[in-house]
Amino acid sequence: MYQVIGTARSRAMRVFWMLEELGQDYEILEAGPRSEAAQKVNPSGKVPALIDNGTAIFDSVAIMQYLADKHGAMTAPCGTIERAIQDSFVHFANDEMDAVLWVATKHTFYYPEELRVPAIRPSAEWDFARAMKTLETRLGDNEFVMGSEITVPDLLISHCAGWALGAKFELPKGKVGDYLKRLRARPAMKRALAKASESASA
């Protein structure tokens, strides 16, 4: 059985959701960033980490893509044009959404107070709004970013959008808004949340 180190309030949520979509059994090892459990498997102390047969894999997107490849679902095959486009959506989400939100988060509460620069907030909002415009254009009328099939970047984009909402960034309405609602309504997403909250209260 897979084990995932992390909490629902961290990027581990992406991995829980992926495992639910794939119908895989997993155990949550509830541990926060820089905890002893996280540091034991990842030199940076970051979460999530996936333990598969005694080997730790970290970086949420590496884990999600590994699981998709291994279980042959939610991904285009390696070496195809479709995979290159799918990967470009992953990089878009990491560069234009995750990185922007992470900088804003660090300057809001993560850094020691003396290192925080609240004045970066408007530029982060500007970057994020630009990313949402790009997403709107690239999504077009598709159900998911790659068309009618859900793939790894959809989960990543949806997770970042949830983070953005929590951090009070503006999310678009219209087609992108509907796309985000479709993703959050997925039964696998709800199962992942329920399992994570059960494990947090255990």
From 44-52, 78-86, 143-151, 186-194, give the range in contact with ligand GSH by CB under 6 A: 44-52
In this structure, are residues 155 and 146 in contact, taking their beta carbons and an 8 Å threshold? no
Query: Which one of 4, 5, 8, 10 is in contact with ligand GSH (CB under 6 A)?
Result: 10
In this structure, are residues 75 and 68 in contact, taking their beta carbons and an 8 Å threshold? yes
Query: Which one of 61, 104, 146, 161 is in contact with ligand GSH (CB under 6 A)?
Result: 61
Neighbouring C-beta atoms of residue 171, cutoff 10 Å = 14
Measured in whole angstroms, how far is the alpha carbon of residue 108 from the centre of its chain?
Answer: 20
> Both tokens of residue 87?
């990967």
Q: Residue 33, interface with ligand GSH (CB under 6 A)?
A: yes
Neighbouring C-beta atoms of residue 71, cutoff 10 Å = 15
Q: Residue 11, interface with ligand GSH (CB under 6 A)?
A: yes
Q: Residue 159, interface with ligand GSH (CB under 6 A)?
A: no
Q: Residue 153, interface with ligand GSH (CB under 6 A)?
A: no
- Spell out the residues 6+ positions from residue 22 whose beta carbon is closer than 8 angstroms to its own: 67, 68, 71, 73, 74
Query: Which one of 45, 162, 172, 177 is in contact with ligand GSH (CB under 6 A)?
Result: 45
Least CB distance to ligand GSH at residue 147 (A): 25
- Binding interface with ligand GSH (CB under 6 A): 10-11, 33-34, 45-48, 59-61
